[in-house]
Amino acid sequence: MINSHIHLDFDLVKSPSKTTTGVVVPSTGKENWDNVINFCSSDNNRHFALGIHPWFIDDHQMLDLHSLEVRIEDEKPVAVGECGLDYIKVKDRNKQRYFFDEQVALATRFDLPLIIHSVQATEDVTDLLKSYSKSRGVIHAYSGSLQEAEILMKLGFLFGFSHNLSNPHAYKLHDIVKFLPLESILIETDDHNNPDELIQIAERVARIKKITVEQVIKQCDQNACKLFNLD
């Protein structure tokens, strides 16, 4: 099983067991770019992404976007991220949009997928992505509407699902998973402390779509390998 979004460099996140055959470790900003690079350098099944998370944009200046560009060129990450918009935790929407726009441009320039954080901002995220015809990637921990998912899917984006899907009362999410083709789904544990619970997310997807867990794992692994160009 490939965990498409796990913050393995966070102290509280345990290392997964051998049931996890690959991971994508996104960064949150310049403070942990080196950490995620070093964390993944000793294991061919660990892959890192470089970006600036909207929660931490106040810790960054415009010059850091140039530093990010240099690091992407030098370090060859599998994606740009984690980046995006969060209209709940971050008040400065203009600065968020600027940093997100610049990172989408970088992903386009380097032909890399995006790992996007979107909270109460899916419409603005979608509008920005529409202006970059070659953009691609995943909206991780998807929380938008079914209608927004339809638009994003037509733009070529995938959708990551984590423990929020395990809530039996998350009817809206369940409907979205039911609607989406399996080829558009990734599974992840984000910053959850026990990444071995990834299997529970695969099981929930299987239950919703009325297919086997093995089918879910096989297709989600293929989706991750294709999106992130994993060996």
**CATH number for the domain including 31?**
3.20.20.140
Domain count, the chain: 1
pTM (predicted TM-score): 0.97
Per-residue pLDDT band for 40 (boundaries 50, 70, 90) equals very high
Amino acid identity at 111: D
pLDDT at residue 132 in the model: 95
3-state secondary structure of 47: strand
pLDDT at residue 216 in the model: 98
pLDDT at residue 168 in the model: 86
DSSP string, 102-164: HHHHHHHHTT--EEEEEES-HHHHHHHHHT-TT--EEEET--S-HHHHHHHHHTTEEEEE-GG
In angstroms, the Cα distances linking 189 to 8, 74, 110, 207 are 10, 28, 27, 18
Query: Considering the chain, what is the average pLDDT of its residues?
Result: 96
Range of the domain at 128: 2-228
Tens-place pLDDT, residues 112-133: 999 999 999 999 999 999 999 9
For residues 145-150, average pLDDT:
96
Spatial contact of 228 and 113, defined as CB atoms under 8 Å apart: yes
Tens-place pLDDT, residues 67-99: 999 999 999 999 999 999 999 999 999 999 999
